[in-house]
Amino acid sequence: MTLVRAMVLDRPRTPLVLRERPLPAAGPGELLIAVGACGVCRTDLHVVDGDLTHPKLPIVPGHEIVGRVAAIGEGVAGFSVGERVGVPWLGATCGVCSYCREGAENLCDAPVFTGYTRDGGFATHTVADARFCFPLGESGDDAEIAPWLCAGLIGWRSLRLAGEGKTIGLYGFGAAAHILAQVLRWQGRRVMAFTRTGDTRAQDFARSLGVDWAGNSDDIPPGPLDAAIIFAPVGALVPAALKAVRKGGRVVCGGIHMSDIPSFPYSILWEERQLRSVANLTREDAREFLALAPKAGVQCAVTRYPLAKANEALADLRHGRLEGAAVLVP
């Protein structure tokens, strides 16, 4: 029997455990993927820390997967063994609910999520629904591309909801923001980066990517924002961002989990300011971003960890010790 290694979560709020498991088989409609790299996303942290309350347990986290097709299940067309593919958070949808029929598969009533309701990429091998796998070509390093599969995709979807404004504020300058800042600069927009108070290292990192201004999350930017995107899971940033956007501006919450939003006066929402959240992604989001990122010259700053050091990577993310993204390399 061929065995593979995986980092397994048995219960929320406990460390992942390295285990050997039988090599999974690609069922009908599926691909078996040999994982080359898997990004460590804040959503993984929410799964491990119990903020997301309905995981399949035990579960192998990880949904920013880059790997090679190792086997192809019955009925799958369009992929070949050895081809490099990416696997994102949205692992499958029902295809029949009203949201799926209306082109909003990100809101599917019966979704499957990679690394949450089906095993993900904190492993040497994983199985994925072929319909939700994306060819990646041969350009670029696996570890540097892995964050595109969630940080990049969620950033891109958040930007679409933020609109076409020329001055965009990014609250929380981690994996998603450092990717999106590069896209915004490529598009010719102005970027204001907001970090936790006193995090001069993150502010310097943002400046190194060409942002127009970087400061604390409670600072007033040099001018009003057309839109703000909040990546940090901190509810208090919502009223702060509403105060920073112009009349008619938008605030987009880009995370899957956030601490409670404190009460705020209606006056900072008035004058047709808008507040929106982002939920998951669509395959069209993936196709658009994965085509755009190379053109925009997106380069991910990554810290690499061996698979067995997944708990260390999660801790570094939890405590804000990273510039850019953490990536596991089996």
pLDDT tens digits, 23-54: 999 999 999 999 999 999 999 999 999 999 99
> Are the C-beta atoms of residues 309 and 326 closer than 8 Å to each other?
no
> Mean pLDDT throughout 243-247?
98
What strand order describes the sheet that includes 213-216? 213-216, 190-195, 167-171, 225-230, 245-253, 274-277
CA distance 30 to 283: 16
Tokens coding 4: 């593979």
pLDDT digits (tens, 9 = 90+) for 68-79: 999 999 999 999
> Mean pLDDT throughout 175-184?
97
> Are the C-beta atoms of residues 302 and 323 closer than 8 Å to each other?
no
Strands (E), the chain: 3-8, 17-22, 30-40, 64-72, 84-87, 90-92, 112-113, 125-129, 134-135, 167-171, 190-195, 213-216, 225-230, 245-253, 274-277, 302-306, 325-329
Q: Is the pLDDT confidence value at 1 over 90?
A: no
* Phi, psi values for residue 28, rounded to 5°: -55, 130
Buried b (16+ CB within 10 A) or exposed e, 219-246: eebeeebbbbbbbbbbebbbbbbbbbbe
Q: What is the mean pLDDT of the chain?
A: 97
Tokens coding 174: 């981690």
Q: What is the pLDDT of residue 170?
A: 98
> Mean pLDDT throughout 80-88?
98
Closest to 231 measured CA to CA, from 241, 222, 243, 221: 241
Q: What is the pLDDT of residue 149?
A: 97
Q: Does domain 152-277 have CATH number 3.30.70.330?
A: no
Q: Please state whether the peptide bond connecting residue 58 to the residue before it is cis, i.e. omega within 30 degrees of 0.
A: yes
Tokens coding 322: 């990273």
User: What's the pLDDT band for 112 if we cut at 50, 70, 90?
Assistant: very high
> Mean pLDDT throughout 73-86?
98
pLDDT digits (tens, 9 = 90+) for 114-159: 999 999 999 999 999 999 999 999 999 999 999 999 999 999 999 9
> Are the C-beta atoms of residues 47 and 55 closer than 8 Å to each other?
yes
CA distance 67 to 235: 35
What are the residue ranges of CATH 3.90.180.10 in the chain? 3-150+281-329
pLDDT digits (tens, 9 = 90+) for 268-280: 999 999 999 999 9
What are the residue ranges of CATH 3.40.50.720 in the chain? 152-277
> Mean pLDDT throughout 53-64?
97
| Topology of the domain covering 3-150+281-329 | Quinone Oxidoreductase; Chain A, domain 1 (3.90.180)
Q: Is the pLDDT confidence value at 228 over 90?
A: yes
Q: Is the pLDDT confidence value at 89 over 90?
A: yes
Q: What is the pLDDT of residue 58?
A: 98
Q: What is the pLDDT of residue 18?
A: 98
Q: Give the DSSP letter of residue 221.
A: P
> Mean pLDDT throughout 206-211?
97
> Mean pLDDT throughout 252-263?
96
> Are the C-beta atoms of residues 108 and 97 closer than 8 Å to each other?
yes
> Mean pLDDT throughout 198-209?
96
Q: Give the DSSP letter of residue 159.
A: H
